[in-house]
Amino acid sequence: MDGLFAVLVGLGLAAAAGFRVFVPLLAVGAAARFELLPLTDGFAWMASDAALITFGAATALEIAAYFVPWVDNLLDTLATPAAVLAGVVLTAAVMTDFDPAVRWTLAVVAGGGTAGVFQGLTAGTRGISSLATGGVTNFVVALLEAVASTLLAVLAILVPVAAALVIAVLLALVARRTLFRRHPASA
């Protein structure tokens, strides 16, 4: 895989892990199984029967658990370090033509960082939803996150440039909202 595309795939998968930890792991395992995505030496286990079954079960449990009000907030506490770790692993797994030092540096900094940023955004969104509605609308947030994770993972694998554009747009929207938020004037 070309170096730039490998980085884009890794970052797209890392962002997807920020929305749901196990969805992109399952997507990568399945894509590798069907030879749609080459994996770095040492990551072939991700396409094994055991890994696919584990990722599938974990994905189903994770998605279901996020639909339970207040449990979703608790899961965000656990999901934050898990998402960062998944972002690192996913990025390293797809950077097949990189020197190991470069691969792992990019995986930790860019992959882990991207996953952490998106996980932080989702946790913040859920926290606001929980406080504003008592958790009543959290199921909508959970649904949107599951869809976003799935779409980003698929885009990252099949059309990495499109995944990068989606990530850039999402980050630009968040930055715009953050930078141009109106604050009450001090008296």
Q: Is residue 182 part of a domain?
A: no
Q: Is residue 92 part of a domain?
A: yes
**pTM of the entire structure?**
0.91
Q: Is residue 186 part of a domain?
A: no
Give the pLDDT of the chain (187 residues) as one tens digit per residue: 689 999 999 999 999 999 999 999 999 999 999 999 999 999 999 999 999 999 999 999 999 998 887 788 888 888 999 999 999 999 999 999 999 999 999 999 999 999 999 999 998 888 888 889 888 888 899 999 999 999 999 999 999 999 999 999 999 998 888 777 765 555 4
Q: How far apart are the first and last CA of the chain?
A: 58
Q: Is residue 185 part of a domain?
A: no
Q: How many domains does the chain have?
A: 1
Q: Is residue 187 part of a domain?
A: no
**Amino acid at position 13, single letter:** L
For residue range 46-99, list pLDDT tens digits in order: 999 999 999 999 999 999 998 887 788 888 888 999 999 999 999 999 999 999
Q: Give phi and psi for 77, each to the nearest 5.
A: -65, -40
